[in-house]
Structure 1
């Protein structure tokens, strides 16, 4: 039997929703997966460089993630944080002891002048991953959130303030001077399918797309471009995306997200609960496809990933890999 060439899939992802989509794609046979992860949430804590979205992708695909909360490492302890608290350090950013080990390693390598892209790749390989986790830029880009109390870093807004303040404005510091990595541009150029994960479009996807060269590479790519809605029936599974969209003047619906991606997507996958938006999405110049997009289990993730690729028209007939229940 002739072995067909693997389908090259490039996923643009951030947050828990992005990690779920990544896990589904990673479980599929005959898929060569590259993931361009959001780095605009990165920040220094206790002298260490923390990259939350990249680490969540790594931990999820390595199956060491704390699944109940969707981030961090399972079976974690917090003794280092307890000591820092005793010493009077600000410990609102919850970092576990195993997690600290990764941040120490990353910071040590960065201080030696190693490329952040190479550091992320080496970490992924050390965790046994066979897909590529790619940084969109080696430069520092950071999301800032303006509230009534002033400007906050994204982690201050998301973790310390628990997403409570109304968001008045967003900006991505230093993004206009950032340079896209060759690895990210190649992954987009060579892809058969490019997927926008069901991540918060404002703080997980746009900070990637607005890095100079990234959106241009997506548009120039011959890949089929598909997005998956992070909004189901006007709400989100987790996170502040719906409230952020509304407060910044966007429609907090699947249609509102589709409008943000309309200039480059070929298809937008929405939930059956959002059938009322099909006609309006089609009028944006893209196809719409209705699926059950809520991902509660590994089986859900694999099913949705396979359906997304089937929609692209490049998957053809395929056999699902053995699926194990998520623990």
Structure 2
């Protein structure tokens, strides 16, 4: 089946599947929409962590052990910052600094985040469209028992230790989808929407919080398929399982379906959750159980290929269930 694919992603898991999708689909057939709720200004520099993780992963520059940042990175800048008594809680690598400096310079010259992202990804040799969810500032705020924390303070500064009581997206109600996202939602040839295995609360919800995005996805005559970030009741990376428990949801693939209620046409889960997948099928949600843990490039490409094949088999919209 031919047609355009929209993928929503953020974080390491999302970047891995995005890598697989770019190895299967030609540039004209894929729009990668990336969360910018994690963006923040640090030491005067505009940092876009999820955009950079996706960019470094697609250009094969990412540190594969950490999953983020650049391979072979050095940290002499941060060592000196800490020596001088500066803020050392969020690390900026020596080579990684170039991305943040260049982004900040271009923003100061009134370029949009979309324009800057297109230029930077192109410079890294990426031919597929990597687009921010919005050019307007949307900031993820984690509400905790210790008070509200900006996302990076919660995630990096506090190492996700505070008990979460909620999540909100500052600025979302006034934001607009980025031009490329608006354009993708307006296309008549969209064949599938893939929700990558990213944290639903912290990586995908900010995208869906931008006015018009959720409604635009539901209005498409195309199936929406999510790849579960939960495997066997645990998150492979990041605080998704902890956050789900604290917000009153048992970490499971069923909870992922409930979280995306009203949006999904199908779900991809790991073989470890095959029994739960069968239960979801009984309830009417098409579910594919396969190897969803991406340890190698071959895993990324295989999972992307299987996810696309599964999505293309689904009837658009009529199969969308929320149970």
TM-score normalised over the length of structure 2: 0.92
Structure 1 residue 235 corresponds to structure 2 residue 244: no
Choose 155-164 or 62-71, whichever is displaced more. 155-164
Per-residue CA distance 1:128-153 (angstroms, 9 max, x = gap) = 10100111111111111122221111
Task: Find the counterpart in structure 1 of residue 311 from structure 2.
Answer: 312
Structure 1 residue 91 corresponds to structure 2 residue 88: yes
CA contact (8 A) 2:2 2:191 kept: no
Task: Find the counterpart in structure 2 of residue 54 from structure 1.
Answer: 51
Q: What's the CA shift for 1:314?
A: 6.1
Choose 7-16 or 278-287, whichever is displaced more. 278-287
Per-residue CA distance 1:255-298 (angstroms, 9 max, x = gap) = 10011123121111111211232354336653111111011111
Task: Find the counterpart in structure 1 of residue 317 from structure 2.
Answer: none
For 1:1-327, list aligned pairs within 5 A: 7-30=3-26, 32-190=29-187, 191-282=190-281, 285-313=284-312
CA contact (8 A) 1:188 1:194 kept: no
Choose 273-282 or 180-189, whichever is displaced more. 273-282
CA contact (8 A) 2:192 2:312 kept: no
Q: Distance in 2 between matches of 1:304 and 1:54?
A: 21
Q: Distance in 2 between matches of 1:47 and 1:281?
A: 48
Q: Distance in 2 between matches of 1:314 and 1:30?
A: 20
Residue-pair matches, total: 311
Q: What's the CA shift for 1:65?
A: 0.5
Q: What's the CA shift for 1:224?
A: 2.1
Q: Distance in 1 between matches of 2:313 and 2:23?
A: 17
**Partner-residue secondary structure (3-state), 1:107:** helix
Runs of 5+ in structure 2 lacking a partner? 315-323
Q: Distance in 1 between matches of 2:67 and 2:298?
A: 17
Q: Distance in 1 between matches of 2:195 and 2:234?
A: 18
CA contact (8 A) 1:142 1:173 kept: yes
Q: Distance in 2 between matches of 1:86 and 1:243?
A: 34
Per-residue CA distance 1:55-107 (angstroms, 9 max, x = gap) = 00000000110111000111111122122112211111011011111100000
4+ residue segments displaced more than 6 Å? none
CA contact (8 A) 2:141 2:149 kept: yes
Choose 223-232 or 181-190, whichever is displaced more. 181-190
Q: Distance in 2 between matches of 1:151 and 1:80?
A: 30
Choose 23-32 or 209-218, whichever is displaced more. 23-32
Task: Find the counterpart in structure 1 of residue 321 from structure 2.
Answer: none
RMSD between superposed Cα atoms in Å: 1.6
Q: What's the CA shift for 1:251?
A: 2.6
Residues 53 and 91 of structure 1, relative CA distance in 2, 3 Å threshold: same
Task: Find the counterpart in structure 2 of residue 318 from structure 1.
Answer: none
Task: Find the counterpart in structure 1 of residue 319 from structure 2.
Answer: none
Q: Distance in 2 between matches of 1:117 and 1:273?
A: 39
Q: What's the CA shift for 1:223?
A: 2.0
**Partner-residue secondary structure (3-state), 1:97:** coil
Choose 284-293 or 257-266, whichever is displaced more. 284-293
Residues 121 and 253 of structure 1, relative CA distance in 2, 3 Å threshold: same
Q: Distance in 1 between matches of 2:174 and 2:116?
A: 22
Residues 140 and 164 of structure 1, relative CA distance in 2, 3 Å threshold: same
Q: What's the CA shift for 1:245?
A: 0.8
